[in-house]
A and B are shown apart, each in its own frame.
Chain A
Amino acid sequence: MSNILEIKGLSAGYGPLQVIHDLDLIIQSGERVGIVGLNGHGKTTLFYAIAGLTHWQRGSIRISGKEIGRTRSQGPGRYTHIVVKEGLAIMPQGDEIFHGLTVEEHLDSGAFTPESWKNRKQKREEILEIFEPLKKLIHTPVGRLSGGERRMVSIGRGMMSEAKLYMADEPTLGLAPKIGKGVLEALLKINLKDSAMIIAEQNVALLEGKVDRIIGMHAGKLKGEASSSLSMGLKN
């Protein structure tokens, strides 16, 4: 087992606001990790910091040993596309979609490595097997889909490339419980092989027993850790 993600002393924020405080995290290959915490405690910001989308950050972030964190003070997103190409599949919160592209094109846009671009047809088929409802919507603009369908597209987009680290930010947010559960299950179906996955969630019950570890997040720090089955004992 090797370390896929290694974060040391990470602080990050927006303007004068510091959201992440001196955070350490190690995730090994093959692991599924859940990060739970309330709104506004830094789950999304942690993802953004890994992707280089925060306004400023300092500390070390390594993906498979390669340093992608750096001290940055301006230009959120300036290096994101380079960082992403190191093997990040980001499934962002909410509607980070391309509303005018069809479902097919939208999935293709996630195939950012040359290899996955070549195999995009086959990948698309695989993803449609997981997200059955998208099959008959394949030529519909994403802007016309419902919330749940959009989330499926957004997660499917993240699955198009062979990534080292999958990061799903509140995949069930705003969805009806049944649909949300379906989306989460599809996410857990991804065959990790040597990669790893982080899922941020507010609802611990949804992740219980389905991930290898659950880590709590509070006020920009990671607090408490439990193996998934013991998650009810999650405390500081």
Chain B
Amino acid sequence: MNDIIFLIINGITVASIYGLIAVAVSITWSALGLLNLSYGFIFSFAGYGAWLAERYLYGEPIFVMFMGIAAGIVGSVMVCLLVFIPVHDKPNFTIRGMIGTLAISLIGGQVLLQNFGPKAKLLPEFFGYGKVKILDITITADKIGIICSSIIMLIIVVRWMKSSRRGLEIRAMMMNPHAASIVGIGVRKTGIYVMAVTGAMTGLAAVLLSQTYYLSPFSGLTPMIKGVSIALMGGLGSVRGAVIASIILGFNEAITSKFLGGRYVLMTQFLLIIIVLIIRPRGISGILDKAREA
């Protein structure tokens, strides 16, 4: 019994970190039509931002965390200015955008490698080493912190998208870019907002994951691959789908690494994604959609 609950908590912890990236990928795809493969770079960039802040400015965990989020925003807006704005109205934008962001991810990784060296860096534990014991089960403060802060971030983003004017513009553009321009919503300006918000989410994911493991110039690649595949399984463009998919894949990761071993995680994960996409080509969101399109 304890084992199972332990697995569930592990699953949710993993899910909440990857879920942040998946939701970011999903929002960027449906609002901008950009499959952003540079989240790996933004992830490492945010991590190094947090690391620099901790080292040279102020070591208070909450400050470091916010600096990580801020660095994520900066990195993401940079990608927007370098890739999205120049190519968004050119023919074959989807492919060009994908190649451009992938290039940024690789080049950016090299730049980080050159400046910070290959040695892994450590971030401080944000949530301390405390433990909570509920009914014989010990949960580390770390896990509670990760789960809570991702959920808070997700709620803030979703609330903002639901209630603010910019959020309305972003959602309008997600649904019909052509009609959006007719009501005076500019693609480029909205693009910067979208990238800033998704950058903040990636930044949070980066500091949360880096403080548990470590930080290196290419440590963002695996979370990005997982984020993109979760977004695919959830149905690109759906926030709810991405959240559900990240929970399913989080459990899958916890269960697989417990019973089969960590090296099988990617295998079972992709197997699961393929099965879901065979049954529901539009991913999980295909089941959730109530409104008919067009």
Contacts and interface: CB of A to CB of B under 8 A. Distances in A.
Contacts of B182: 51, 53, 80, 84, 90, 92, 96
Interface residues of B, number: 24
Given A96-B176, A99-B175, A99-B176, A143 B293 contact: yes
A144 B290 CA distance: 8
A85 B183 CA distance: 8
Contact of A85 (B165, B172, B184, B291): B184
A185 interface: no
B181 interface: yes
A111 to B, nearest CB: 9
Contacts of A77: 89, 178, 181, 187
- A80, A109, A110 interface centre (most CB from chain B within 10 Å): A109
Interface string B246-287: 000000000000000000000000000000000000000000
B175 A101 contact: yes
Contacts of B180: 98, 109
A143 B175 CA distance: 11
Nearest to A76: B89
A92 B292 CA distance: 20
A97 B179 contact: yes
A95 interface: yes
A90 B290 CA distance: 28
A142 B183 CA distance: 16
B185 interface: yes
A141 B290 contact: yes
A153 B89 CA distance: 29
Nearest to B91: A74
B294 interface: yes
Interface residue tally on A, bucketed by range: 20 to 34
A141 B187 CA distance: 23
Given A81-B186, A109-B168, A117-B165, A98 B179 contact: yes
Contacts of B294: 95, 99
B262 to A, nearest CB: 39
B169 interface: yes
A75 B89 contact: yes
A201 interface: no
Interface in A38-67: 51, 53
Interface in B153-201: 165, 168-169, 171-172, 174-176, 178-187
A101 B181 contact: no
Contacts of A143: 290-293
Interface in A72-88: 74-75, 77-78, 80-82, 84-85
Contacts of A142: 291
A98 B186 contact: no
18 contacts: A53-B178, A74-B89, A78-B89, A80-B181, A84-B182, A84-B183, A90-B183, A95-B294, A97-B176, A98-B176, A98-B180, A99-B292, A109-B172, A112-B185, A141-B290, A144-B290, A144-B292, A157-B183
Interface of B: 89, 165, 168-169, 171-172, 174-176, 178-187, 290-294
Given A98-B175, A100-B291, A144-B291, 4 more contacts: A53-B181, A95-B294, A99-B291, A100-B171
